[in-house]
Each structure stands twice: as structure tokens, then as C-alpha cells.
Amino acid sequence: MEALSISEARSRLFELRKMVVDNQDQVIMTHKKGNVVLISMDEWEAYQETMRLLNDKAALKALVNSFERHDRGETSGKTIEELFADLV
């Protein structure tokens, strides 16, 4: 993760965009009135989805329960191979 002033970021914007998108990197842009972070749209959408799931109590409970069942060796449903059989 690189940190630089907003002025420097402005002059390197296209280079920073490529670095962020191609390398899944983040850039901290500093300013005396507050800092910001440049991330890719894919990363932003992943954060948004994570926050949506964490705020959905039913979905979060189902996720935790599925991890607990997995850890106990309990399985249900289809295997990965069965789910993606059409891709093989």
C-alpha cells in the first residue's frame, strides 16, 4: 500500500488507477483536511457485499452455522464436484 499526497496522486492518477486495478493494491491519499483511500471497483463491491452480509443477522447466523457444521464434519447438499460438473 502506497501513501502519497493528494497533489502527487493527482499528477499520477492514471498510473495509480492501473496499479490499483491490476495489482489489487490500495493507495492512501493524504491531505491536511482528511485522508482517502483509492481502491478498485471490484474491491469496493466486495466490501459492500461483506457489510451487507454482516448486517443481515439471518444470513450471518446461517454462515456461522455452516462453518460450525463443516468443522464438525457434517455435510449436506452437493459436493463441489457435483455443483460444477458441467464445467469439467
Whether residue 51 sits in one domain with residue 69? yes
pTM of the model: 0.64
Q: Domain of 62?
A: 42-87
**How many domains does the chain fold into?**
2
- pLDDT of 40 reads 96
Say if residue 30 is in the same domain as residue 7: yes
Residue 88 grid cell: 469439467
Q: Which pLDDT belongs to residue 74?
A: 82
In tens, the pLDDT along 54-71 reads: 899 998 898 888 889 888
54 lies in the same domain as 79: yes
- Tell me, yes or no, whether 18 and 48 share the same domain: no
Reported as a single tens digit per residue, the pLDDT across 14-46 is: 999 999 999 999 999 999 999 999 999 999 999
Res 83 pLDDT > 70? yes
